[in-house]
A and B are shown apart, each in its own frame.
Chain A
Amino acid sequence: MSKARTRVLGWGALALLVGALAIVAAGCGGSSKKSSGSEGSGSGLPTSIGKGEGALNLIEWPGYAQASWRKPFEQQTGCKIHLKDAGSSNQMVALMRTGGGGGGGQYDMVSASGDATLRLIYGGDVRPVNVNLIPGWKDFIQELKSPAHNTVKGVHYGVSLQWGPNTLLYNTQKVKPAPTSWASLYDPANKGKITVPGNPIQIADAALFLSKERPNLGIKDPYELTKQQFDAVVALLKEQKPLVKTYWGFASDEITAFKNGDVTMGAAWPYQTLTLQADKVPVKEIIPKEGATGWADTWMIAKKAKHPNCAYLWMKWVSTPKVQAQQALGFGETPANTKACPFMDKIQAGSCAKYHANAPEAYFKSIKFWKTPVADCGNGKKDCIDYGQWQSAWTQITG
């Protein structure tokens, strides 16, 4: 091929590329108007649960639809369940945003935790639900009936499921004396032995610690922080960074780190504690004296869900006391349904008290549940730090 010919082809290819760019930009520019318009359109809430569609696609935390309660559901309702396991809240949000958002027609439901729910609600990816169709809802703990993380302006965007605290996990043989405070995770004496979640919501844990350690900062809600409070918390986390061996991304990573002896203490969920103890690793978890943050999961229905009736049937099923007890003990969390206690004790004696399923209001109120931080502080001011800035700050801390 002559040099001239090559040049012509080269320019031709470049023209093709620019053409592609122009087409795509124009196409994307056109579709933006469509997507912003669809947010407002909402059909009314269903007044009854219709016939099951025969299938149900769930995005779940691993273990949220175990065979012992999934199979009876499939038999009774004919809704065949397909599971998509997600290891983190970020992953759940990303999955729900595929295919143009709203689950993309691919996913019907997501078991979102409090740090993801508001992102999904404000992003228009989930639809309102009628909680009156879920009989179990009436027996839920008062605080989980319409919590701030799944109920906005009185509209429910899902049904609470289970909850659990973020605990301090430590190796009983290597950490002596036993820790009593979150201060252990910020103590330079424990350098290189600590692991904490690699999740921006971890800022709230530091804020909770500082709310008791430095009361003059005036932190009341660890998710509603003014700039001055936020900067103090970020400074603390930057001091903590050299002490951290690794930021765990998935629960299984933390379990491996404890098992291999790389870390001896860290922030964890009861799930990790139970799994490690089942593997005969000498660990124990506590809720330190400053209290703890917690997560509460909600089953939400995708805006573009193709099987909404099966979705309602599933929410109804997992809200019943027996299934709540099964899931609580199967995963290591606490049920939202107050009537689940006797069922828990039947499966495992004393488990109801161990998981605080019958705990008094005071215990529940001491847990600061995850919610997505927004700029609106709820006290008339709008200068609180929002989640986007939490994410940027977290990258600054861990980068």
Chain B
Amino acid sequence: MAELAEAGLPLRRARLRLSTLFWRRPWLKALALLALPLAGFVIVYVGALVALFVSAFWQINDFTAKVEHVWTLDNFSTLIHDSVYRRIALRTIGLGAAVTLTDALLAFPLAYFMARLAGGKTRAFLFVLVLMPLWSSYLVRIYAWRTILAHDGALNWSLNKIGLPDIGLLYTNWGMWIVFSYVWLPFMILPVYAALERIPDNYLEASADLGGRGWRTLRSVILPLALPGLVAGSIFTFSLTLGDFITPLLVGGSSSSFIGNVVEEQVGQPNVPFAAAFATVPVVVMGFYLLIARRLGAFEAL
């Protein structure tokens, strides 16, 4: 018995040394746990992105259309000097901002009702209503809006019935704005709901005690506390709109090209280096946006 205990001693000593090491240096424990998923993340995700963005500095051979590994800034110089790419980028960013503002305005009342005013059953029912469209395919929702906004669609039919003339919303940027706002709305409602739900009731009572009426409380107490939720939701709506190309293709008109559309056309041509160069624009924009969002406290809840 003693011999067996003796035989197991080296292993026990090693295990003890290891566990002491981890106890003394907790960051080592974290690293050991995260090493594998982090490696997967870096190699697969980040590595693929890096490979793409490195190719932005290359060019394609005009004749064979194969990528030549010649370092050049030509792609970026075309982007800066050709006004059409600036126009497309501004259109994409502008519509992203418009969609974000619209969704913030639409989501806030609903999220406030769900978080603070609705009873248990009503809240659950509203959750289902908000989340159910996400169960259907993204394309299905776009096609649904196409049938509504079309020239002979449901919207014009209803307007004609009450005597109003047709509105041509399909194949316009207005139509795209409506579709985007609808499709990304659940992504704005949920973070705002989470932020509003966390506001303690006694804050509102305290505000009332100090003489604040409805609007004052809203402005000075609720909105600042809900801001992180709004910013978190805006990250979703803004970045998803920046990267989209399907809605402009299906719902857009003759002046509706997005950054994603140009990237898709260039990849098919196949001018991957130029597509990669143009794709850096949304990355840079989102980078700045995330920095501002961090300043505004969107990540404090984490």
Contacts and interface: CB of A to CB of B under 8 A. Distances in A.
B54 A24 contact: yes
A283 B87 CA distance: 36
A261 B84 contact: no
A21 B168 CA distance: 49
Interface in B52-89: 54-55, 60, 62-69, 82, 84-85, 87-88
Contact of B153 (A97, A244, A260, A386): A260
A36 B152 CA distance: 54
B46 interface: yes
Contact of A261 (B85, B152, B271): B152
Contacts of B46: 17, 20
B271 A32 contact: no
Interface string B236-254: 0000000000000110111
B268 A91 contact: yes
B131 to A, nearest CB: 29
B262 interface: yes
A35 B51 CA distance: 17
A387 B269 contact: yes
A356 interface: no
The bracket for how many chain B residues form the interface is 35 or more
A29 B254 contact: no
A256 B152 CA distance: 11
Interface string B142-166: 0000110011110000000000000
Nearest to A374: B63
A131 interface: no
B270 A94 contact: yes
A387 B62 CA distance: 9
A262 B167 CA distance: 11
Contacts of B153: 260
A396 B84 contact: yes
B124 interface: no
B16 interface: no
A37 to B, nearest CB: 12
Interface residues of A, number: 55
Contacts of B292: none
Contacts of B249: 198, 249, 253
Contact of A244 (B60, B66, B254, B265): B254
A33 B146 CA distance: 48
Contacts of A396: 82, 84
Contact of A32 (B47, B69, B254, B266): B69
Nearest to B54: A25
Contacts of B82: 396
A124 B42 contact: no
A399 B51 contact: no
Contact of A399 (B47, B63, B84): B84
A1 interface: yes
Nearest to B39: A16
Nearest to A390: B269
A35 B67 CA distance: 10
A395 interface: yes
B84 A17 contact: no
Contacts of A21: 50, 54
Given A24-B47, A25-B54, A245-B171, A124 B64 contact: yes
A242 interface: yes
B22 to A, nearest CB: 15
A203 to B, nearest CB: 14
Contact of B254 (A23, A25, A245): A245
Interface string A131-143: 0000000000000
Contacts of A395: 84-85, 88, 257, 262, 265
Contacts of A259: 152
A213 interface: no
A261 B64 CA distance: 43
A399 B87 contact: yes
A246 B146 contact: no
A9 B171 contact: no
Contacts of A72: none
A16 B42 contact: yes
Contacts of B152: 259-261
A261 B250 CA distance: 16
B285 interface: no
Contacts of B135: none
Contacts of A88: 268
A91 B168 CA distance: 30
A123 B254 contact: no
A17 B182 CA distance: 37
A94 B267 contact: yes
B69 A29 contact: yes
A308 B54 CA distance: 36
B255 interface: yes
A101 B27 CA distance: 44
Given A17-B46, A24-B51, A395-B265, A247 B69 contact: no
A32 B54 CA distance: 14
Contact of A246 (B60, B254, B266): B254
A123 B171 contact: no
Contacts of A386: 62
B44 to A, nearest CB: 11
A25 B150 CA distance: 48
B95 interface: no
A398 interface: yes
A246 B67 CA distance: 33
B268 A90 contact: yes
Interface string A216-250: 00000000000000000000000001101111010
A259 B147 CA distance: 11
12 contacts: A39-B64, A90-B267, A91-B268, A123-B66, A192-B168, A244-B253, A245-B171, A246-B171, A246-B252, A260-B152, A395-B88, A399-B88
Task: Sort A-B residue pairs by CB-CB distance and give the 7 closest, nearest first.
Answer: A90-B268, A260-B150, A399-B84, A261-B151, A246-B171, A244-B254, A261-B152
Given A257-B171, A394-B265, 13 more contacts: A16-B42, A17-B46, A20-B50, A21-B50, A93-B268, A93-B270, A198-B249, A245-B253, A259-B152, A387-B269, A388-B62, A398-B255, A399-B88
Interface of A: 1, 5, 9, 16-17, 20-21, 23-25, 28-29, 32, 35-36, 39, 88-91, 93-94, 97, 101, 119, 122-124, 192, 198, 241-242, 244-247, 249, 253, 256-257, 259-262, 374-375, 386-388, 391, 394-396, 398-399
